[in-house]
DNA sequence: AAGTGAACCTGAAGGC
DNA sequence: TGCCTTCAGGTTCACT
């Protein structure tokens, strides 16, 4: 699912419920997701207070009042739902068949916020590519999941000259380079396609060739930052099962220019081309052969 | 070393 | 209706 804008949308949705809240209890309903849960997962979280909920690339990072730090990744299909207020129906209480969706509710956090309100935060992940890990606060930056990550495409850090340095000398297609989390951290298949379209760059062009063109690098850096900023502003996209923490849908999908639009008209004014699909490194690339040439 | 493809897992969608 | 194949937002690992 989730690329950086979706993870940031989730973070913003969870923040008011998590930050300052005490973790009353954690239900861990299976031994593993993508990886096994850490030993004593629920026990180590119980009683902790959440100091802050941050994000690095596509990782959510919950800092607690004492070790450990909780690192969470949504994988392809992970999502959080918040149920606030008084005790609700417990699963099975009325002998309702558990819905198919509920079968993928893998973790439930029981929280009490500073105002004394209680919340249940449910992590659901049908494909189970998501994961939750612990890390000691002192060694967070050295954690294997985080240590190699590149620059965030938010803010102003990613500009033309930096992008040129990142792409310089690389023989891979620029599409693959933009997906490489060691270079830019947080881009995924959708927003890479969108950014390349905005900048008018063919996805198959060698990364090093883009690096050699200063104007092109400036345009691509600007396109990456703009598409990410706009998607965050719009509350993330909504593909299939991606939902925000309140259950509403992100709507950036309505402004996709090329992603999942194979055969449809290019949206660049005056272009007149049609969106094509090709496969690079096993993943679909959507682009306009007319204006990305 | 860098780059490609498979694997992880479930569900949705399309063809017949 | 069902059975089959293909495909999906990500990451990691095993190969060339």
pLDDT along chain A (293 residues), means of 10: 89 94 98 97 98 97 97 94 71 54 95 95 95 96 94 95 95 96 96 97 96 96 96 70 58 80 95 95 94 94
| Closest nucleotide to A77 by C1' from CA | C9
Strand B contacts (Cβ < 7 A) comprise: A 34, 77, 100, 103-104, 126-129, 170-173, 176, 240, 281-282
pLDDT given for residue A241 in this prediction: 43
- Please give the Cα distance from A144 to A50 (Å, whole number): 23
CA-angle at A256, arms to A72 and A4, nearest 5°: 20
- Please give the Cα distance from A259 to A198 (Å, whole number): 12
**How far does the CA of A55 sit from the C1' of C12, in Å?**
21
- Please give the Cα distance from A3 to A173 (Å, whole number): 20
Nearest Cα neighbor of A105 from A88, A123, A121 is: A123
Nucleotides of C under 7 A from a protein CB: 7-12
Fold of A160-254: Helicase, Ruva Protein; domain 3 (1.10.8)
**How far does the CA of A144 sit from the C1' of C13, in Å?**
15
- Per the listing, tokens 């309140």 go with A246
Evaluate whether A78 touches A124 at the Cβ level (below 8 Å).
yes
DSSP state of A247: S
- Please give the Cα distance from A121 to A110 (Å, whole number): 7
| Closest nucleotide to A176 by C1' from CA | B3
CB-based burial, A248-277: b 16+ in 10 Å, e otherwise:
eebebbeebbbbebeeeebbbeeeebebbe
pLDDT given for residue A114 in this prediction: 93
Nucleotides of B under 7 A from a protein CB: 2-12
How big is chain A by its Cα radius of gyration, in Å?
21
Q: Roughly what angle, to the nearest 10 degrees, separates helices A214-233 and A4-18? A: 40
Fold of A4-142: N-terminal domain of MutM-like DNA repair proteins (3.20.190)
Nearest Cα neighbor of A192 from A170, A216, A224, A164 is: A224
Q: Which residue is nearest to nucleotide B6 (CA to C1')?
A: A282
Q: What residue spans in chain A does CATH classification 3.20.190.10 cover?
A: 4-142
Structure tokens at A180: 């490489």
pLDDT given for residue A240 in this prediction: 45
Evaluate whether A9 touches A236 at the Cβ level (below 8 Å).
yes
- Please give the Cα distance from A214 to A160 (Å, whole number): 7
DSSP per residue, A158-215: --HHHHHHHHTT--SBHHHHHH-TTTBSS--HHHHHHHHHHHT--TTSBHHHHHT-HH
Q: How many Å from the N-terminal Cα to the C-terminal Cα in chain A?
A: 29
pLDDT given for residue A233 in this prediction: 87
Residues of A acting as catalytic residues:
2-3, 58, 283
Q: What residue spans in chain A does CATH classification 1.10.8.50 cover?
A: 160-254
> Alpha carbon of A254 to those of A196, A237, A238, A249, A260: distances in Å?
18, 8, 9, 11, 11
pLDDT given for residue A87 in this prediction: 57
């Amino acid at each position: 699912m989730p690329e950086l804008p979706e993870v940031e949308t989730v973070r913003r949705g969870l923040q008011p419920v998590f930050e300052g809240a005490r973790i009353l209890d954690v239900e861990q309903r299976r031994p593993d997701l993508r990886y096994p849960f850490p030993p004593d997962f629920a026990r180590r979280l119980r009683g902790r207070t959440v100091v802050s909920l941050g994000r690095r690339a596509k990782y959510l990072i919950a800092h607690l009042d004492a070790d450990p730090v909780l690192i969470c990744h949504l994988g392809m299909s992970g999502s959080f739902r918040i149920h606030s207020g008084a005790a609700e129906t417990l699963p099975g209480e009325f002998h309702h068949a558990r819905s198919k969706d509920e079968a993928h509710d893998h973790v439930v956090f029981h929280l009490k916020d500073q105002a004394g309100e209680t919340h249940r935060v449910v992590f659901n992940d049908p494909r189970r590519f998501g994961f939750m890990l612990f890390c000691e606060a002192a060694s967070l930056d050295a954690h294997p999941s985080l240590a190699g990550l590149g620059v965030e495409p938010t803010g102003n850090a990613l500009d033309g000259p930096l992008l040129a340095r990142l792409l310089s000398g690389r023989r891979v297609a620029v599409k693959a380079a933009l997906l490489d989390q060691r270079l830019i951290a947080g881009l995924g298949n959708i927003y890479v396609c969108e950014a390349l379209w905005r900048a008018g760059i063919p996805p198959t062009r060698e990364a090093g060739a883009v690096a050699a063109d200063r104007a092109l690098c400036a345009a691509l850096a600007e396109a990456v930052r703009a598409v990410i900023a706009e998607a965050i502003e719009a509350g993330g996209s909504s593909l299939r099962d991606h939902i925000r923490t309140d259950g509403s849908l992100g709507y950036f999908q309505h402004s996709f220019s090329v992603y999942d639009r194979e055969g449809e008209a290019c949206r660049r004014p005056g272009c007149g081309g049609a969106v094509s699909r090709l496969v690079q490194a096993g993943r679909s690339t959507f682009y306009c052969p007319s204006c990305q040439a």
